[in-house]
Amino acid sequence: MKPIFVKQWHGIALNTVKGFNAKEIPGKEFYADFYGKFFQTHENWDDLDSDWLDHKVNSARFIQGRLKGMERVLSIGCGIGIIEKYLLDSGAKDLEIQEVSEEPLKWIRPLFSSEAVHIGRLPECQDHSRKYDYIFLSCVDYCFEFHEWIEFLDEIKGLLNQTGRCLVIAPTFHLSNFECSELKLWIMFKIKKILSALRIYDLGQFVGWRRHKNEFHHAMVSAGFNVREEGFLNKDAMFSKTYWIEGEPI
Ligand SMILES: C[S@@+](CC[C@H](N)C(=O)[O-])C[C@H]1O[C@@H](n2cnc3c(N)ncnc32)[C@H](O)[C@@H]1O
């Protein structure tokens, strides 16, 4: 795992967001304030950063291909819902969304029926009487410590049909390949950490963890999934390596 530090996101300086803490993964208060500020500076979908949009559309196209034949689908941690908007615009039916709080849902919520929107934490925010065929999580794992991520996947397993599938998709790092660009970033990060310890460099907000593909795999297996397939998406405008892994309950 590699810590992710961010100074600004979607043009918002993170040290202006309530609950800013360079040492702890942000909680609900941070995200609520962040999204409040986000919607003050972004009026509609057209205001989104083009590189970020390219990254999300790349993921959305891939997810769309995995949903063929799937009836009841849930997106966990949908954020502002850019992937889900793409899926709806492409004709997705029986798609549902879940988020921990309602702040990010300002644009996406009106596009769904009220029964298809689940707000709160798992498992409380879900009616367990009907299971899902497919659950996907895009860029959500980073918010969790490793053991919490395994427990979270285990809870997700309980929401799936026996033949259901869970897809995790997220940018990853892959230092074992010794790619020059990654190695350079890794060394730069180590230097910045030292400068930050000396209080001459501001690392920004610690937002969570970037994981290696082996960690994603290990978490899936530890949570009781059989890994069906895994791979990488083609490079997009933001990330060279977006990893995906799909599992089914054992
Ligand atoms: C970077 S955003 C990703 C949003 C979206 N999936 C995407 O790919 O654009 C991470 C989201 O995970 C959500 N999240 C954090 N902890 C969560 C939890 N315990 N359950 C569900 N969502 C969570 C956050 O609220 C945030 O909106």
pTM of the model as a whole: 0.92
CA of 228 to the centre of ligand 1 (A): 24
CA of 80 to the centre of ligand 1 (A): 9
CA of 194 to the centre of ligand 1 (A): 30
Instruction: Note the pLDDT tens digit of each residue in 64-83.
Output: 999 999 999 999 999 999 99
Task: For residues 135 and 152, give the distance between their C-alpha atoms in angstroms, rounded to a whole number.
Answer: 13
Taking only the tens of pLDDT, the chain with its 250 residues reads 888 888 899 999 988 999 887 788 888 888 889 999 999 999 999 999 999 999 999 999 999 999 999 999 999 999 999 999 999 999 999 999 999 999 999 999 999 999 999 999 988 888 877 899 999 999 999 999 999 999 999 999 999 999 999 999 998 876 555 566 667 777 877 887 887 778 887 778 888 999 999 999 999 999 999 999 999 998 899 888 899 999 999 9
Instruction: Give me the residues paired with residue 12 across strands.
Output: 9
- Ligand 1 residue neighbourhood (C-beta within 6 Å): 31, 56, 76-79, 82-83, 99-100, 104, 121-122, 138-140, 143
* Confidence (pLDDT) at 175: 58
Q: Which domains does the chain have, with CATH numbers?
A: 42-173+211-249 (3.40.50.150)
CA of 219 to the centre of ligand 1 (A): 18
Query: How many CA atoms lie within 13 Å of 5's alpha carbon, on the beta-carbon side?
Result: 16
* Confidence (pLDDT) at 167: 98
If you take atom 24 of ligand 1, which residue's CA is the nearest one? Answer: 77
DSSP class of 240: S
3-state secondary structure of 194: helix
Choose the residue to mutate in 102, 140, 142 for probing ligand 1, maximizing ligand atoms within 8 Å of C-beta: 140
Identify residue 145 by its one-letter amino acid code.
E
* Confidence (pLDDT) at 174: 63
Task: For residues 65 and 205, give the distance between their C-alpha atoms in angstroms, rounded to a whole number.
Answer: 35
Instruction: Note the pLDDT tens digit of each residue in 162-180.
Output: 999 999 999 887 655 556 6
Choose the residue to mutate in 57, 82, 143, 239 for probing ligand 1, maximizing ligand atoms within 8 Å of C-beta: 143
Helix axes 82-89, 50-66, angle to 10 degrees: 50
